Amino acid sequence: MTLASLRIAVIGGGIGVLTAALALRQAGFDVDVYEQAPELTEVGGGINMAPNATRILRQLGLAEGLDREGVRPVGTHQRRWQDGSTLQRAPLNPLCEELYGAPHMTIHRADLLAVIASGFPAQHIHLGHRLVGLADRGECTEAWFENGVHITVDLLVGADGIHSAVRTALLGEEAPRFTGCVAYRGLVPTERIAELGLEGGSQSWVGPGAHLVHYFVSRGRLLNFVGWTEHDRWNREDWTDRATVTRALAAFEGWHPQVRRIIAAADTCFIWALFDREPLPNWSVGRATLLGDACHPMHPFMGQGAAMAIEDGATLAACLVAAGTGDPAETLRHYERLRLPRVTRLQEMSRANKTRFHMRDGSAQQARDAEWATAGDRSPDTLRWLYDFNAAVVEPMSAPTTALG
Ligand SMILES: Cc1cc2nc3c(=O)[nH]c(=O)nc-3n(C[C@H](O)[C@H](O)[C@H](O)COP(=O)(O)OP(=O)(O)OC[C@H]3O[C@@H](n4cnc5c(N)ncnc54)[C@H](O)[C@@H]3O)c2cc1C
């Protein structure tokens, strides 16, 4: 069997899925994407793409699209919720490109998805295909879709998000749990808040039981904000997915005028409940594996969930290239072994940031602020282990191998 004859089905149609599909296709595999929705869409506004993710997207030939649609924040600025005093600042661009050869970007999710999808042939994206079952047959994997379609492939990759049907089929039923965090998400036309004279970077505001992040997207035309608050339970009947601006303002009562001005300038606000799962010890079964939120969902408090899904795709492609015509099932386990320590570390760090960001004012908060003032945990240099990592280069097979041009 040659690489080109290895048929791979990727289930899902999100950022991670399409990056994996593109990386696999560019590496020479025969790849098809199966997404349940009738069109490719991304819910929500903006997303941070750190250098470890933009590096891969650029290697896949997407630099022009990213540069056209994205924004390069000059830095991050972390501030206190009430008086706006600075807790820490860190430069991002052009430093990230100088240090790591890839920029830090912020971009609208729909734009990012469109940029990635533009690199993948549309005729290999099968919309309206909701996976309802699969079976590992040893030499192949079979899958069934709600619309009656049945496929037989050499490898199947489940990248169908936190409620993954592939994960359930492979590893059994286990419901994700509510994290106690709810986000208010909104987009504000930049000219509407011009009087704030916002700096050209990301800002995050931390306070008791909550934090709010804002940054520019859509070539700077829109400001994206996400305000996180804590709640004991999530009851869909109590909330609507579309929250009112008034409700968001009430959640950030007493916060700095800049925060409240940004929320108030939004036409509407969406609400998002955050779910989580414990890290998995493994996630491949036979010729099927998982990728992205399907196997390692994380709190978005390191801004790395989609970045890890993007890395997964690059590593998976590189592992399959390195394995050549070797045993595909063993190659999937190799991919998983390479990814597990890094994604588990980020799952744990992201979860811990909920506590760090949401401290009540008091001695622990003061100690945290003092530590941030000196340590600067946001600086690109401190995050070298995270940013200076090329997931497309894998070892060991014989020599380091890359699947990307
Ligand atoms: C508020 C918020 C802010 C965030 N900010 C950042 C950030 O700044 N940077 C970052 O890197 N990450 C961030 N993340 C995390 C990031 O959004 C996710 O980690 C990422 O989108 C996961 O991508 P994915 O492709 O694995 O899954 P998803 O994006 O969930 O895609 C899964 C796809 O599978 C499809 N699907 C589901 N079930 C089936 C089925 N049975 N059959 C077929 N298709 C199916 C779905 O329709 C969907 O299209 C944030 C998350 C949140 C909630």
Residues with CB under 6 A from ligand 1: 11-17, 34-37, 44, 47-48, 130-131, 159-161, 165, 183, 185, 226, 272, 292-294, 300, 303-307, 309
Q: Tens digits of per-residue pLDDT, 12-43?
A: 999 999 999 999 999 999 999 999 999 998 77
Q: Helices 328-357 and 305-323: crossing angle, nearest 10°?
A: 160
pLDDT of residue 238: 52
Tell me the C-alpha to C-alpha distance, in Å, between residue 368 and each of 90, 286, 302, 373.
Answer: 17, 46, 17, 9
Q: Tens digits of per-residue pLDDT, 285-337?
A: 999 999 999 999 999 999 999 999 999 999 999 999 998 878 899 999 999 99
What number does the ligand 1 atom closest to the CA of 164 have?
Answer: 38
pLDDT of residue 35: 97
Q: Of the ranges 96-105, 204-213, 247-256, 368-377, which one carries the lowest mean pLDDT score?
A: 368-377
Catalytic residues: 215
pLDDT of residue 405: 45
Specify the pairing of strand 125-126 against strand 30-34.
Answer: parallel
Please tell me the residue having the least CA distance from ligand 1 atom 27: 161
Please tell me the residue having the least CA distance from ligand 1 atom 7: 303
Task: Look up tokens 């991050």; give the residue.
Answer: 76
Q: Of the ranges 67-76, 148-157, 236-245, 355-364, which one carries the lowest mean pLDDT score?
A: 236-245
Backbone angles phi, psi at 77, to 5 degrees: -135, 115
pLDDT of residue 381: 72
What number does the ligand 1 atom closest to the CA of 132 have?
Answer: 41
- What distance in Å separates the CA atoms of residue 277 and residue 167, rounded to the nearest whole number? 12
Whether 376 and 384 have beta carbons less than 8 Å apart is answered as: no
Backbone angles phi, psi at 40, to 5 degrees: -80, 120
pLDDT of residue 41: 82
What average pLDDT does the segment 365-375 reach? 89
Whether 275 and 162 have beta carbons less than 8 Å apart is answered as: yes
Q: Of the ranges 9-23, 229-243, 282-296, 372-386, which one carries the lowest mean pLDDT score?
A: 229-243
What average pLDDT does the segment 355-382 reach? 86
Reported as half-sphere exposure (CB side, CA atoms, 13 A), residue 126 has a value of: 16
Q: Which two tokens stand for residue 45?
A: 């506004």
Give the neighbor-by-neighbor strand order of the sheet with 150-153: 131-136, 141-145, 150-153
Q: Tens digits of per-residue pLDDT, 104-116?
A: 999 999 999 999 9
Q: Tens digits of per-residue pLDDT, 56-78?
A: 999 999 999 999 999 999 999 99
